[in-house]
Amino acid sequence: MLSNVRIERTESPKTKPNPEKLGFGQYFTDHMLLMDYSAEQGWHDPRIVPYAPLTLDPAAMVFHYGQAVFEGLKAYRTAEGGAQLFLPERNAKRLNRSLERMSMPKLEPGVLTEAIQALVGVDQDWIPEAEGTSLYIRPFIIATEAMLGVRASSSYLLAIVMSPVGAYFDGGLKPVDILVEPHDVRAVRGGTGAAKTAANYAGGLKAQAAAKEAGCAQVLWLDALERKYVEEVGSMNVFFRIDGQVYTPVLNGSILEGVTRGAVIELLEDWDVMFTARPLSIQELVQAAANGTLEEAFGTGTAAVISPIGGIRWNGQLYPINGGQVGELSQKLYDTITGIQRGMVRDVYGWTVPAVAEQEELRAGV
Amino acid sequence: MLSNVRIERTESPKTKPNPEKLGFGQYFTDHMLLMDYSAEQGWHDPRIVPYAPLTLDPAAMVFHYGQAVFEGLKAYRTAEGGAQLFLPERNAKRLNRSLERMSMPKLEPGVLTEAIQALVGVDQDWIPEAEGTSLYIRPFIIATEAMLGVRASSSYLLAIVMSPVGAYFDGGLKPVDILVEPHDVRAVRGGTGAAKTAANYAGGLKAQAAAKEAGCAQVLWLDALERKYVEEVGSMNVFFRIDGQVYTPVLNGSILEGVTRGAVIELLEDWDVMFTARPLSIQELVQAAANGTLEEAFGTGTAAVISPIGGIRWNGQLYPINGGQVGELSQKLYDTITGIQRGMVRDVYGWTVPAVAEQEELRAGV
Ligand SMILES: Cc1ncc(COP(=O)(O)O)c(C=O)c1O
Ligand SMILES: Cc1ncc(COP(=O)(O)O)c(C=O)c1O
């Protein structure tokens, strides 16, 4: 439970950006939420304050040893003008798993969702309305102790910032090609791959640039041990439909467990689609692409929801999938999940949660 | 070449800490050096300013995606009252390799050493005198663009901070036990292990805590692929003397290439000690420890120089090395390297460089 969130409202609200040109993560709302951790006081002093720079000692451990974890989720405007979150408690649980892996202090259950609801309450007029748009919410926690010894920090800062974001695809889903990275790896068993930590991203930028050069939108990561099994695609989990059966790589300790991945699996099971999580070798996949049994492939993640894959580039060759067209299952998953998120499809799974706590709705006069 | 370093001196110099109680990385000097990078201007505006907090947008990429690299080296007070650096150009080269791996912009040759010399010049009265003490220098570079897309930042900040540090061992070298980590790994081929980046450290804290619990001072990391070959010990490279021959793990893409490691190898070659860099399995090492042929083991790094290993704990068993005594070679390497660093042993290798540029020495009246 989060109590006593102090609120200091801005005296100079920003002009809102053009809703047609939001992009991703470029504009930030008027406020942010901060909370401190110290060994003596635990997590304390939650406060909503005007969005402003953070002030950190140059020796703050986050700059040197990388204790930094984050989450990403969205608030969606509903058909009736309300706003809702999608499975925020799964983000909260994953955040705690990430914190544990990185030797950082966990949050009490409920705290993350309540903090988000409090902040969305204050900045709810920042949630964009148009189809495909939403308010991206980025909670993150960083080590703040000013000390250069290699050990866990004794103090941390939790911050939540929010950014109105545009449609990932404008004008319907668009399949993209992906490049199988032959050399660099994202993560390995025993490492930090299953945590959502800053450490996992910067090392992938080089491969991402190589993918762009090869005309591909994303990297398809292989496992670090044998460079044989597919793991993730860019910052998304990945699914394949082969001969009517759906597969995704099994969680093996180096893959991030996506919230969207979980929702997709539940829908597949509910729809009686044959589904298996298991190791998937790149050979098996390109062979299936070549002989036409690879019917669909798609990435899943909060940003894109479902991102259809049009082709896999491997060893200098492009293996097209489904003639570069959006698959039937991809489209149905996208429509169902975005429908639930926007309150247009009834949420029989109980996946959505109000984005604004009730008192806050009243106070803001929504 | 670094030109036009603007200098703004502090008006309230700090009280210097008790030289007997320096510890490591706890106190910082009066000034720091900053330099900015932008896509348009490249690296620009080097300046020495009073040590003060950094101000960064909460969306600054370093907090989210971990583009952060650093270096660590020391300025040593010499017998004649001068001050010198040890192989700073090797740190500069490694910094550029780290920057490249993390998709960050490199520095021109010479810039890092000149920046360090300029800063040490301003704060040279912070270099402690006592044996074993030194001024630890921490250059680091972080991504500063305020944007949540996963791509390389377009702007960066270089900062150099300095900390007077105490003797790593007081009262002579002391062997420590190390724990072989069976599960977690530090790095893997294709990952970021050969770069000195924040990403490599936070993930190791959990194993470090487990080592402490088992009564060990450091973790002995195994390779990620087979968990069979030793890689590094804590934040040090590692050497073993077996039957009169010296071995260290060969650089395989997941090991950090230490500056001290390089100096040790050059000394071994100069001294005609039989030396080989090759894969070293943990089985081979504990067997050698058990049958008495493992004569010495030690870690190497800027902080400790040489850190003798008294025993290896593996699979619940402690394998003592050399009866827990400091080995002859360990002591000789320590004495030679620290002697060169402090100007007590003639630097026939050309490893040392003045810590203060000449004009600066004049101006400061040293
Ligand atoms: C590496 C990685 N994999 C997968 C995902 C998908 O996770 P989610 O569905 O929770 O957004 C993300 C996050 O967005 C990610 O960063
Ligand atoms: C992971 C790691 N290995 C080895 C070393 C030793 O390198 P150096 O001798 O340059 O200090 C360091 C740095 O101090 C390190 O962080």
Task: Kindly state if the Cβ of A204 falls inside 6 Å of ligand 1.
Answer: no
Q: What is the mean pLDDT of chain B?
A: 95
Contact A102 B202 (CB under 8 A): yes
The stretch A62-73 carries a mean pLDDT of 98
Nearest CB neighbour to B149, from listed A24, A152, A189: A24
Determine the residue of chain B that is closest to A103 in CA distance. Answer: B206
* Residue with CA closest to ligand 2 atom 15: B235
Q: Tell me: the pLDDT tens digits for B57-106?
A: 999 999 999 999 999 999 999 988 899 999 999 999 999 999 999 999 99
CB B223 within 8 A of CB B229: yes
pLDDT bin (cut points 50, 70, 90) of residue B181 is: very high
Q: Which of B24, B32, B64 to mutate to test binding with chain A, by most A CBs within 10 Å of its CB?
A: B64
pTM metric for this prediction: 0.97
Q: What is the pLDDT of residue A339?
A: 97
Dist CA A55 CA A77 (whole Å): 33
- A 51-70 near B (Cβ less than 8 A): 51, 53-59, 62-68, 70
Q: What is the pLDDT of residue B289?
A: 97
Q: How many helices (H) and strands (E) does chain A have?
A: 9, 19
> Does position A190 have pLDDT exceeding 80, yes or no?
yes
pLDDT bin (cut points 50, 70, 90) of residue A157 is: very high
> Does position B304 have pLDDT exceeding 90, yes or no?
yes
> Does position B313 have pLDDT exceeding 60, yes or no?
yes
* Ranges of each domain in chain B: 6-170+348-364, 176-325
Q: Tell me: the pLDDT tens digits for B117-133?
A: 999 999 999 999 999 99
CB B96 within 8 A of CB B102: no
Establish whether domains B6-170+348-364 and B176-325 are of one fold.
Answer: no
Q: Point out the least confidently predicted range of A103-117, A164-178, B110-124, B148-162.
A: A164-178
Q: What is the mean pLDDT of chain A?
A: 95
pLDDT bin (cut points 50, 70, 90) of residue A3 is: confident
Q: What is the pLDDT of residue A283?
A: 98
Q: Give the 3-state secondary structure of chain B.
A: CCCCCEECCCCCCCCCCCCCCCCCCCCCCCEEEEEEEECCCEEEEEEEEECCCEEECCCECHHHHCCEEECCEEEEECCCCCEEEECHHHHHHHHHHHHHHCCCCCCCCCHHHHHHHHHHHHCHHHCCCCCCCEEEEEEEEEECCECCCCCCCCEEEEEEEEEEECCCCCCCCCCEEEEECCCCCCCCCCCCCCCCECHHHHCCHHHHHHHHHCCCCEEEEECCCCCCEEEEECCEEEEEEECCEEEECCCCCCCCCCHHHHHHHHHHHHCCCCEEECCCEHHHHHHHHHCCCEEEEEEEECCCEEEEEEEEEECCEEEECHHHCCCHHHHHHHHHHHHHHCCCCCCCCCCEEECCCHHHHHHCCC
Nearest CB neighbour to A56, from listed B53, B151, B208: B53
pLDDT bin (cut points 50, 70, 90) of residue A263 is: very high
Contact A58 B235 (CB under 8 A): no
The continuous run of DSSP H or E covering A340 comes out as helix A328-341
Token representation of residue A53: 């720079």
Q: Tell me: the pLDDT tens digits for A287-337?
A: 999 999 999 999 999 999 999 999 999 999 999 999 999 999 999 999 999
The stretch A246-269 carries a mean pLDDT of 98
Evaluate whether ipTM surpasses 0.90. Answer: yes
Token representation of residue B46: 């080097």
Dist CA A75 CA B242 (whole Å): 62
> Does position A45 have pLDDT exceeding 50, yes or no?
yes
Please report the sign of the dihedral spanned by the C-alpha atoms of residue A39, residue A45, residue A46, residue A51.
negative
pLDDT bin (cut points 50, 70, 90) of residue A360 is: low
Q: Considering chain A, what percentage of its residues have pLDDT values greater than 90?
A: 93
Question: Residue A342 C-alpha to ligand 2 middle, in angstroms?
Answer: 51
Question: Residue B149 C-alpha to ligand 1 middle, in angstroms?
Answer: 13
The stretch B258-273 carries a mean pLDDT of 98
The stretch B341-352 carries a mean pLDDT of 97
Q: What is the pLDDT of residue B359?
A: 58
B149 interface with A at CB cutoff 8 Å:
yes
> Does position A366 have pLDDT exceeding 90, yes or no?
no
The stretch B342-358 carries a mean pLDDT of 94
> Does position A365 have pLDDT exceeding 50, yes or no?
no
* Residue with CA closest to ligand 1 atom 4: A236
Q: Point out the least confidently predicted range of A107-111, B170-174, B273-277, B283-287.
A: B170-174
CATH architecture label of A6-170+348-364 = 2-Layer Sandwich (3.30)
Pocket test for ligand 2, best of B196, B197, B221 (most atoms within 8 A of CB): B196
Determine the residue of chain A that is closest to B159 in CA distance. Answer: A58
CA distance A200 to chain B (A): 7
Determine the residue of chain B that is closest to A210 in CA distance. Answer: B103
Q: What is the pLDDT of residue B102?
A: 98
pLDDT bin (cut points 50, 70, 90) of residue B153 is: very high
Q: What is the pLDDT of residue A2?
A: 82
Contact B161 A59 (CB under 8 A): yes
Choices 3.20.10.10, 3.20.20.80, 3.40.50.300, 3.10.129.10: CATH for A176-325? 3.20.10.10
Q: What is the pLDDT of residue A351?
A: 98
Pocket test for ligand 1, best of A181, A235, A337, A341 (most atoms within 8 A of CB): A235
Contact A152 B205 (CB under 8 A): yes
Q: What is the pLDDT of residue B366?
A: 39
Residue A201 CA, closest ligand 1 atom number: 1
Question: Residue A282 C-alpha to ligand 1 middle, in angstroms?
Answer: 21
